[in-house]
Structure 1
Amino acid sequence: MNAYFLKMLLCLILFISFQWQLSAAEVTPDKPLLQETFQEPLSKDWFWGLGTWKAEQGILRGYESGPRRHGPVKMRRFELGDGVVDFEFRLEGKARFAGIIFNGSQQRGHIVHLVISQDQIRVLGHAKKGESENLLQQPHKIETGQWYPAQVRFDGPSMTATVDGQKVTVKADYIAEPKLTFGLGGDSGGPAGEKAGALEFRNLKISSAPPVQTSLSEAGRAAIRSEIQAVIDEGYYPGISILLIHRGQVVMREAHGVVDIETKKPFTVDQLCWLASTGKLFTATLMASLADEGLLTFDDPIAKTWPAFADIRLSDGSKPKDQVRLRHALSHTSGIPNDNWLKVERQLEKNSPQLAGYVAPQTAGDFVNACLKLGLVVEPGTKMMYGRPIDLAACVAEKVTGNTFITLMQERVFQPLGLQHTTIQPTPEELKQLAPLYSSTKPGVFEPDQFGLEVAARQNKGLSTAGGGVYSTLDDLGTLMQLHLNRGKHAGKQLIRAETLELLYQPQPGTNGRYGLAFQIKDSQVNGHSRILSHPGYSGPVAWIDFERNLAGVLLMQSNTVQRTKHHNRIIDTIYRYLPAQAKSD
């Protein structure tokens, strides 16, 4: 009886296993809606085209013919809503760019046009026939004679294009319209025909968009929204926006409340904000980039680049046991007094003549000399005194490279990450779009705070602050945090070695284990233990990464209040109740 029972149980298990495998096969990835083999004769769905086109051995090859009036384009009928288009392309000879066009209604004209040239990726939108707008333009190098993979994914009003591992996303309402035809084409090099150059395409495949699997439940989103609204209702912030990137996927990107208490203009996800001290995360990334290239080390004495620093002394005139090093500047343990110490111990206000070079230096040399005059009030590396001396990092960066801190930030951080809405020197137009900053000491009472505008005015004269001079948006700040979460990788490329970035995250002596190199460190016990690497800002924001959760997060709120740490923690704790620490990527 036992043997018979075991035999029947085994059969039942095998049957269930077979049925599960059959069911899984039915729901796993769909068959392509179109898989083009590019063999002559082409399907009649391929129609009108400019130039000469040949299809053989799985490759569609196009070049110009006759007088030049347009690059070669080949069109195909294929109605598509949300979906994924995969293909490979190659530029031959003098070909300048390849592209793919999606056409909508006659009223709309082209819905969108992806252009991939030898030095950039560009996305054009066509809201109306005869009109176009540049939705995106981002540097990216490709070589002629080499095949490159590309993918275009449509998800409602969003389009994500991935070219050679670099991913870009644009959003416009008309992108969500049905695509009735599409075309392959570009610029093949000129009217000399095939002798000038050619465009080649292969492995064209169109699939329906797979459902997005999100790791954050709708109940989790509802709870987070409720907590954000509760914080707004307490009356310290007009509005708050949030971005969560979990396991490489955006799982929440929303804005709540208003940005301006006078106009009641809604707080939006693309709102430009002053980051204040949260901008230190950009400084940390820049300094890691310089260290990764061997231009400096975090153990370098400041005196290596500014020799006068070798003579800095303690208050009693004695020489410190250790030199002031770059890591001390970045961890606020240099021993140079901060603003609070100067105010309390020396009874000095910011407008005191003695502090002119410290508070509002005109050059890096002014700031270095001001620090030397102040001297040391404690031994370097023994006590954290959070504040202005972190600007020594900018002074060192400028000295070792011969470039301004602003230029370095643009060339080494903003541009490689494709941050098009991040700046240190906001233009007059950008300042008009900047979220107003408020100071709030009582619920419902908001006083205008001009600090962010003052910093912009100073930096627009050429001198920047390493401590808090960045103006950015939710998405751009999220991209920076994702770089750290990806251990220095962006768009498939290693921008900074992981071991170099890891140096930023290590607790520094004198900080009680709570600060690294321009990164704040704290532990969370909510839904599993994890370490949070972050930085808040005077103007309200906070950005963080959590390796145990594979999570990057950003909160933007433009209000200076002593309540902000408590409110950050409340919102983050709510998030963590729905994203456990053990949920790591595969």
Structure 2
Amino acid sequence: MNLRTIRLAIALSALASLPLAAQLPSTPPGAAGFDPHRLEVLHRTMRGLVDEGKQAGIVWLIARDGKIVDFEAAGWRDLEHKLPMQKDTICRVYSMSKLVTSVATLVLLEEGKVLLDDPVGDHLPELKAMKVMTGGTAETPQLVDTRRPVTIKHLLTHTSGLIYDFDGTDALHQLYQRADLWSGTSLKDFTAKVARLPLRHQPGEDWSYGINCDILGALVERASGQPFEAFLRDRIFGPLGMKDTSFDVPAGKRARLARTYRHDPAGKLVEAEPMLGTWPEAGRGLASGGAGLFSTAGDYARFAQMLLNGGELEGRRILGRKTVEFMTANHLTALPRPRHAYNPAMGFGLGVEVRMEQGQATCLGSVGQFGWYGAATTYCQIDPQERIVAIALAQHFPFNQHKLFERFANGCFQALTDQGAATAVEPAGGRTAASTPKPTGRAARP
């Protein structure tokens, strides 16, 4: 073997040993306050969902103080071809995209390009004259003027009155369905369609889950002067080393993409067509700020750790500490019921739910933890009190069937054995949000 061949072999060996993407460092569970034997309870629970035919596959990751303490995968990313779910499997994270879009919006806020009380129409003129639907039918809707303009804060908090098209059959939903929102490929076209649709309620007067972050994506594009996907790449994904996160999946990575499944009438898992046009091929779908991203557990954990650290990871600052504190406060305090519609224990901040109390919660966790979920049963919770990032990615419709989220949360938190919250330490990636004073202006209990 000549010297050139030896050098080539060494180079190829080094290349093969490189991770597919940057990853948080790891530590033994016991060193981070987790009981390894109790973590096995979580493992059995997750694998049981697969073995019982309830989920095709699941990948999950738990980090504490910036270090991974549990990272496992079970089941299949492709049942038909018996391809296993793996740690680097690429998944559709759907509405976990909203956290990323909200951070992008707050980057522009920090730079003085937008303000929370800016009318959205100042940045997207086509949305200046929105109406509210008060009755009627899809053919003859009864509309009234808004009493105040829709603002950027209304979009971040889901209080604008915009809705989704897939979660109802009433006259307003029929109008949204007829608009064919997801068929285009540009955010400009998407916004033009939305401009012709009414709101469910007056801006700022109720909480309604909807296409708010898709409009924010268009706003980021317009205010920054960059295509939305380029802004995310340059300002978030690149700095954080999120090499597998994008609105499409390159051909060379597509073998790692998980298929999405549902149960047929007989209870068998069968492939489900993606929602909202989330196709992996470049140019086929929309850069949907509300639901369009593909990612991995490792990539998304880096993004979540950045938020837990107060806006910074490994020396790369995305947001200021006070911005993250403000983002993760409850911003529904002006509503008669300062909680979001899906969980009476949870308020809502700027793009994230926030756990406000324990008494109405249905699974283990901490007051102050924040995060969100995705339609294909994907989960992210960030706990400043315990300094934990918890990610679970299935690819299954309908959302959270078989209560995967509650089972995962209970399995994660029951494995903690230290006193945790009283002794926050500096993590590998920077300061935790828990190591800084939390804001005191959160909502009182109703």
**TM-score, with length taken from structure 1:** 0.61
**Equivalent in the alignment of 1:400:** 223
Q: Say if 2:149 is the partner of 1:331.
A: no
Q: Deviations over 1:410-437 (max 9, x none)?
A: 0011100011121212222333321111
Give the secondary structure class of the aligned counterpart of 2:409.
Answer: helix
Inter-partner Cα distance in structure 1 for 2:416 and 2:273: 37
Q: Say if 2:343 is the partner of 1:517.
A: no
1:232 to 50, 56, 64: 50
1:575 to 408, 412, 415: 412
Q: Say if 2:15 is the partner of 1:134.
A: yes
Shift in CA distance, 133/581, structure 1 to aligned 2, threshold 3 Å: closer
Give the secondary structure class of the aligned counterpart of 1:259.
Answer: strand
Q: Say if 2:303 is the partner of 1:480.
A: yes
C-alpha displacement at 1:479, in angstroms? 0.4
C-alpha displacement at 1:441, in angstroms? 6.2
Q: Deviations over 1:293-346 (max 9, x none)?
A: 222122221011123433222235433222101122222221134315773225
Inter-partner Cα distance in structure 2 for 1:507 and 1:580: 29
**Equivalent in the alignment of 2:385:** 548
**Equivalent in the alignment of 1:244:** 62
**Equivalent in the alignment of 1:216:** 34
Shift in CA distance, 257/308, structure 1 to aligned 2, threshold 3 Å: closer
AA at the equivalent of 1:227 = T
1:303 to 121, 125, 143: 121
AA at the equivalent of 1:322 = R
2:236 to 413, 423, 430: 413
Alpha carbons 1:329, 1:391 under 8 Å: kept = no
Alpha carbons 1:331, 1:390 under 8 Å: kept = no
Give the secondary structure class of the aligned counterpart of 2:84.
Answer: coil
Alpha carbons 1:438, 1:447 under 8 Å: kept = yes
Q: Deviations over 1:439-468 (max 9, x none)?
A: 236685212122169323686257411111
Inter-partner Cα distance in structure 2 for 1:301 and 1:554: 34
Shift in CA distance, 458/213, structure 1 to aligned 2, threshold 3 Å: closer
Question: 401-410 or 462-471, which moves further after superposition?
Answer: 462-471
Alpha carbons 2:240, 2:316 under 8 Å: kept = no
Alpha carbons 2:185, 2:283 under 8 Å: kept = no
Q: Deviations over 1:498-539 (max 9, x none)?
A: 111223222233562532222123355767743331211111
AA at the equivalent of 2:415 = Y
AA at the equivalent of 1:450 = E
AA at the equivalent of 2:54 = Y
Q: Aligned runs of 1:57-96 on 2, under 5 Å?
A: none
Alpha carbons 1:527, 1:580 under 8 Å: kept = no
Inter-partner Cα distance in structure 1 for 2:258 and 2:28: 37
C-alpha displacement at 1:379, in angstroms? 0.5
Shift in CA distance, 562/395, structure 1 to aligned 2, threshold 3 Å: closer
Inter-partner Cα distance in structure 1 for 2:280 and 2:184: 13
Shift in CA distance, 310/476, structure 1 to aligned 2, threshold 3 Å: same
**Equivalent in the alignment of 1:538:** 375
Inter-partner Cα distance in structure 1 for 2:28 and 2:197: 62
- Which 4+ runs in 1 deviate beyond 4 A? 167-171, 209-212, 441-444, 523-529
**Equivalent in the alignment of 1:201:** none
C-alpha displacement at 1:248, in angstroms? 2.0
Inter-partner Cα distance in structure 2 for 1:555 and 1:426: 20
**Equivalent in the alignment of 2:93:** 275
Inter-partner Cα distance in structure 1 for 2:126 and 2:168: 22
Give the secondary structure class of the aligned counterpart of 2:32.
Answer: coil
AA at the equivalent of 1:323 = P
Give the secondary structure class of the aligned counterpart of 1:256.
Answer: strand
Give the secondary structure class of the aligned counterpart of 2:200.
Answer: coil
Higher percent of residues as strand = 1
Q: Aligned runs of 1:356-435 on 2, under 5 Å?
A: 356=180, 358-435=181-258
Question: 510-519 or 496-505, which moves further after superposition?
Answer: 510-519
**Equivalent in the alignment of 1:285:** 103
Q: Deviations over 1:53-109 (max 9, x none)?
A: xxxxxxxxxxxxxxxxxxxxxxxxxxxxxxxxxxxxxxxxxxxxxxxxxxxxx9x96
AA at the equivalent of 2:412 = I
Inter-partner Cα distance in structure 1 for 2:95 and 2:372: 7
Inter-partner Cα distance in structure 1 for 2:312 and 2:208: 33
Give the secondary structure class of the aligned counterpart of 2:108.
Answer: helix
C-alpha displacement at 1:243, in angstroms? 0.6
> Which structure exhibits the higher relative contact order, with contacts defined as CA atoms closer than 8 Å and separated by 6 or more residues?
2
Which has more radius of gyration?
Answer: 1
Shift in CA distance, 565/332, structure 1 to aligned 2, threshold 3 Å: farther
Higher percent of residues as helix = 2
AA at the equivalent of 2:302 = T
Alpha carbons 1:549, 1:583 under 8 Å: kept = yes
Alpha carbons 1:549, 1:581 under 8 Å: kept = no
Inter-partner Cα distance in structure 2 for 1:566 and 1:284: 27
Inter-partner Cα distance in structure 1 for 2:272 and 2:79: 13
Inter-partner Cα distance in structure 2 for 1:235 and 1:349: 37
AA at the equivalent of 1:516 = G
1:492 to 300, 315, 320: 315
2:262 to 439, 453, 472: 439
Shift in CA distance, 545/564, structure 1 to aligned 2, threshold 3 Å: farther
The count of residues paired between Structure 1 and Structure 2 equals 399
Shift in CA distance, 421/211, structure 1 to aligned 2, threshold 3 Å: closer
AA at the equivalent of 1:292 = E
**Equivalent in the alignment of 1:103:** none
Alpha carbons 1:270, 1:475 under 8 Å: kept = yes
Alpha carbons 1:338, 1:389 under 8 Å: kept = no
Give the secondary structure class of the aligned counterpart of 2:229.
Answer: helix
Inter-partner Cα distance in structure 1 for 2:267 and 2:221: 43
Inter-partner Cα distance in structure 1 for 2:186 and 2:289: 13
C-alpha displacement at 1:548, in angstroms? 0.8
AA at the equivalent of 1:518 = G
Structure 1: give runs of 5+ residues left out of the alignment.
1-105, 111-125, 138-157, 161-166, 172-208
AA at the equivalent of 2:348 = Y
C-alpha displacement at 1:565, in angstroms? 7.4
Inter-partner Cα distance in structure 1 for 2:11 and 2:105: 46
Give the secondary structure class of the aligned counterpart of 1:455.
Answer: coil
Give the secondary structure class of the aligned counterpart of 1:134.
Answer: helix
Q: Deviations over 1:213-253 (max 9, x none)?
A: 23211112211112212322342211111111112221101
C-alpha displacement at 1:581, in angstroms? 9.1
AA at the equivalent of 1:213 = A
Alpha carbons 1:530, 1:549 under 8 Å: kept = no
Q: Deviations over 1:107-132 (max 9, x none)?
A: x968xxxxxxxxxxxxxxx8x44645
Inter-partner Cα distance in structure 2 for 1:556 and 1:211: 21
Shift in CA distance, 129/368, structure 1 to aligned 2, threshold 3 Å: closer
Inter-partner Cα distance in structure 2 for 1:337 and 1:489: 33
